[in-house]
Amino acid sequence: MDLLSAVPAGAKALMSPAGILGVAVEGVWVSLHLALYPWGLLEDRLDEASHMGVSHLSPAQRGLIIGDVEAAGTPIILVHGVIDNRSIFTLLRRSLRRRGFGRTYALNYSPFTDDITDVAQRLGILIEEVCEQTGYERVHIIGHSMGGLIARYYVQRLGGDAHVHTVCTLGTPHSGSVPAQFVPWPVIRQMRTNSDIIRELAEPAPGCRTRFIAIWSDLDQLVLPQRNARILHPDLRARNVFIRGIGHMSLPVDRRVVNEISMALAQLDHDGSLLSSGVTSIDSTPAWPSRRVEPDGRETRDIEVV
């Protein structure tokens, strides 16, 4: 699919009431993010990234820690996208802490000196340091945009599934993005639909223990076609979650996204199968839409969050 064929679907989403509101939210958040960006250039300090006290939490939020200490304490690693830094997660980190998740760590990298494989190796080093500091054997990763590809590369190609419980990706071009075809920058080339990285991640990954949740939107202006932000891999236990009317940069601050991440990380068991009441299983068929067969014959499942 080329760029021109991807435009009509995006234009339809843009002209809907949800799309118009999404554009407004995207503009406000991008303006705020630009103001926060300089602060995000500072590196996270591991000894300052844990906030495990419960005095600031409401009784309901304290229930998460009391009911499942491991779920609340499992470290969460945040990986930003290209031409960005950890400031993109400012509001998401605050929201997660309000919900009882006290250990969040952000990985910064430079698109001028690093590529996906380099950052994936650095991610592995950070995870080892976090596990040593916290005593946890596994972590969760939330990756925005290219950050999701970095997380997948670490899990699938560098043995990271032994250390990563869940990967949540937000607007990640899992099947590549058409606009990347027109940008000669090396790290952007890695997100082309036919890049070596995309092909490598499509290779078999038998026995992968990590669970994946891929969140995508019909208003994503950087991942085109937008459905390329879904995970389509026969060996990965993945759930694709559709969020209507939210732009690429706004995904980490959208209420529906935060709720989806929080519910998943709080109530899914070690292997993703033992669930609390009311939580959608990552292995079950969601209500919307029904099973979809891709052009290559693969079956994928999506769920829409409203």
Burial code (b: 16+ CB inside 10 Å, e: under 16) for 219-233 equals bbbbbbbbbbbbbbb
Mean pLDDT, all residues of the chain: 80
What residues have CB less than 8 Å from 177, skipping those under 6 apart? 191, 192, 193, 222, 223, 224, 228
Q: pTM of the predicted model, to two decimals?
A: 0.80
Determine which of 105-119, 204-218, 226-240 has the lowest per-residue pLDDT on average. 105-119
Determine which of 47-56, 242-251, 259-268 has the lowest per-residue pLDDT on average. 47-56
Q: What is the mean pLDDT of residues 166-184?
A: 97
* Domain at 3-279: CATH architecture: 3-Layer(aba) Sandwich (3.40)
d(CA 246, CA 248) in angstroms, rounded, equals 7
Q: What is the mean pLDDT of residues 300-305?
A: 73
* Cβ–Cβ < 8 Å for 138, 164: yes
Residue 52 pLDDT greater than 60, yes or no = no
* Nearest Cα to Cα of residue 75 among 33, 129, 36, 29: 129
What does the pLDDT read at residue 278?
Answer: 39
Which position has the higher pLDDT, 263 or 297? 263
What does the pLDDT read at residue 16?
Answer: 63
25-39, 78-92, 257-271: range with highest mean pLDDT: 78-92
What residues have CB less than 8 Å from 212, skipping those under 6 apart? 152, 166, 167, 168, 169, 231, 236, 237, 238, 239
> Residue 286's pLDDT band (boundaries 50, 70, 90)?
very low
